Amino acid sequence: MIGRTLMRQSTRYLAGGLACALLHNVIMIATSAWGMPYPPALVLSFSVTTPIGYAIHSAYTFETRYSTRRLQRFMAGAVSGFVVSAALMVLFCSGLAMPVAVATPIATVLVFFWNFALARWAILDLLTPWERLR
**Average pLDDT over all residues of the chain:** 87
Mean pLDDT across 33-62: 93
pLDDT value at residue 48: 96
d(CA 15, CA 104): 19
Pick the residue with more confidence: 97 or 13? 97
Q: For residue 81, which amino acid is it?
A: G
User: Residue 109: left if φ>0, alpha if ψ -120 to 50, beta else—which one?
Assistant: alpha
Mean pLDDT across 21-45: 94
Q: How confident is the model at residue 120 (pLDDT cuts 50, 70, 90)?
A: confident
On whether the pTM is more than 0.85, the answer is no
Spell out the alpha helix ranges (H) of 34-132.
Answer: 38-56, 68-89, 100-123, 129-132
Mean pLDDT across 42-49: 94
d(CA 74, CA 79): 9
